[in-house]
Structure 1
Amino acid sequence: MNLEDIELFLALVKNELNFSRTAESLNGIDQPNLGRHIRQLEKDLGYSKIPCILIDRKQRKLTSAGEVFNKDAVEIVRLLKQAKERAFRASCGEDIRQLVIAVNSSITNSVLPVVLQTFRSQRPDVKLVLCESPPQDQIQQLLDYQIDIAFNYLPLDEHPDLIYVPILQEPLVIALSESHKLADEAQIPLKALADESFVLPSPDIVHFYKQIIDFCKQVFGREPEIVQQATWMLTVLSLVAGGVGVSLLLKNAQNIQRQGVVYRLIKGIEADKLKIQTVALMRRNEQSAVLNEFIEIVKNIVLQKSLGK
């Protein structure tokens, strides 16, 4: 059994077991040759002269053996990529010269500028590559060694190969049109928004908004009226400025000055209950000294900021 056969099998599964389509999507292999590779894989997985049939070719579906092997094959390829990366790093003496960092808005709009300045002053030899990776893709990107560290919000599904380092907790603020009747208030009870129309990010994109909506339901006694959902923060603020509705945003949004929008604190015990945790996600077996230096700088700067320094 060799890696090429396994990768061809996975490509075939990805293409819904369509041999002709899979062959067309791959370079340097035709349909008969693809079939030979799969038969060889089935032979290698079997015992004596009895092959292990992975694909029911008549019904074009995986057999029970194929279902089991497919799951293991995905893990085999992932572990091989990981082994290759770790071996390369070891051959370099773990002297990493680049960190690829997936950021979220809480880090970007708060401590990131200071973190970048501090890290670059201490490690000018290391290149920092920042990317705005979709939160739902970060776990797989970490496992595939596409990124080295990611910042995301709780709650998150846990993964045994990753660790989650708490970074900061942020309260929410209310974003209002400057002409709103409550705009003159310094603090606003959440219940005062019960009859308001809301503009919010979609929970499908920013997952923690589901818990915010559920909390509003407890306070209001019913679901908040969401008249518009938007992907980008600037779109949310534009809708708020235009009087389409009010919004609940993380405190870091106050660093985005949008004409026509004012931010107000939430009054009462709800302010303490509505806090969102940002964590750093890293591979559990990561041994990079550079990455550890980076995360320590982040934690120290967040701590200093919380103490008002």
Structure 2
Amino acid sequence: MSVMIEIRHLRYFIAVAEELNFSRAAERLNIAQPPLSQQIQALEAELRLQLFERHRRPLRLTSAGNVFLKEARLVLTTLEKAVISARQASLGEIGSLIVAVNSTIANSVLPEILRTFRDRYPQVRLILREVMSSQQSQQLHNSQIDVGFDCLLSNGDTGLSSLEILQEPIVIALPENHPLAKQPEISLKALVDEPFVLPSPDVVLSYGQIIELYQEEVGLPPKVVQEATWLITVLSLVAGGVGVTLLPANAQNLQRTGVVYRPIQGKNLTRPIAAVWRSDDMSVILQNFLQVIKDVVPDVSPEQ
């Protein structure tokens, strides 16, 4: 049986059921009593049920009326929740966002970004995934992640937008017992004969730029004796005396035993870190996340 009932019918019925008096219910609803009585009668006709015992004084609900009252309240409560949830969703206050992270951003400004976002939007679920920089572009295109942190986009990477967060200095990491560790600053040319431990530029894309900058200064590429992808592995190899390396300054937060860090003498090497997302992603949650980045990190560059 198909029943056509409007929300106002439920509100009218609940008012009468709670007041057990048509006059008081009409006053509560700010309508006249005759139209209210007619609406209740129409509801009963639609349901083919008697909801009130009208011959009793005071007015009473029938057994069917008591059951219908309980269910009607549930319907209105569910509707109110649906309206609230829809409004929250439209403001980006509920839902989820998949964020790709790597060691560079994790050791830098990510903690403050996450803390601020969760303070502002406690009901949004942030799903963090560790993704190497070389994989983030493809995972964005495949909608496996919503936003990533990487170096700036290349000109050929269409369909993605980026927001430069900061220019991070590059420092030299070397074994604590290395002769050069006694110097407060080290020139890149002093490393010309040193063995290097570096990530592959094919895996950590930003290292292609770092190697180019080194070669421009020294005139030769670094002598890479060992490649390693993860920062903790690179530092372990440096601590073990395998070689020296060039790392983002945030690596100093790890305080790896056996490794010391020195600034580069006479050369301000930096690399950009950017938030990257799909250009056609109109998610309010994403926009809120980007706004938090702008609020947390001073002097954020315009979007590209």
TM-score range, shorter chain: 0.5 to 0.7
1:245-260 matched pairs, under 5 angstroms: 245-260=243-258
Partners of 1:298 and 1:255 in 2: how far apart? 21
d(CA) in 1 for partners of 2:240, 2:211: 22
After superposition, the Cα gap between the structure-2 partners of 1:137 and 1:94, relative to the gap in structure 1 and judged at 3 Å, is: farther
In structure 1, the residue matched to 2:224 is 226
Aligned ranges for residues 105-254 of structure 1 at < 5 Å? 105-154=103-152, 156=154, 158-254=156-252
Change (3 A) 1:301 1:240: same
Structure 2 residue 264 is matched with structure 1 residue 266: yes
Q: Letter of the aligned partner of 2:196 in structure 1?
A: F
* Regions of 4+ moved over 4 Å: 92-96
Q: Distance in 1 between matches of 2:200 and 2:299?
A: 33
Q: In structure 2, what residue type is equivalent to 1:297? A: V
Equivalent position SS for 2:237:
helix
**Percentage of identical aligned residues:** 50
Q: Secondary structure at the match of 1:303?
A: coil
Count of paired positions: 213
Secondary structure at the aligned position of 1:295 is classed as helix
Would the aligned equivalents of 2:113 and 2:293 in 1 still touch at CA under 8 Å? Answer: yes
* Residue matched to 1:293: 288
Provide structure 1 residue ranges, at least 5 long, that are not aligned to the other structure. Answer: 1-88
Tell me, in whole angstroms, the C-alpha distance in 2 between the residues paired with 1:133 and 1:175: 24
Q: CA deviation at 1:218?
A: 2.5
Match of 1:107, as an amino acid? I
Which amino acid in 1 is paired with 2:158? P
Deviation per CA, 1:224-255, whole angstroms, max 9, x where unpaired?
21111111111111111111111000111111
**1:155 and 1:208 in contact (8 A); partners too:** no
| Structure 2: runs of 5 or more not aligned | 1-85
Q: Aligned-pair distance for 1:198?
A: 0.8
Q: Is the 8 A contact 1:102 1:131 kept in 2?
A: yes
Partner Cα distance (2:206, 2:221) in 1? 16
User: Secondary structure at the residue paired with 1:244?
Assistant: coil
**Root mean square deviation, CA, Å:** 2.2
Q: Is the 2:175–2:181 contact (alpha carbons within 8 Å) kept by the matching residues of 1?
A: yes
Q: Displacement, 1:212?
A: 2.0
Q: In the alignment, residue 275 of structure 1 is paired with which amino acid? A: T
CA contact (8 A) 2:252 2:261 kept: yes
1:204 and 1:280 map into 2 onto residues whose CA distance is: 20
How many Å separate the matches in 1 of 2:132 and 2:232?
17
Q: Which has the larger radius of gyration?
A: 2
Secondary structure at the aligned position of 2:251 is classed as helix
Structure 1 length-normalised TM:
0.64
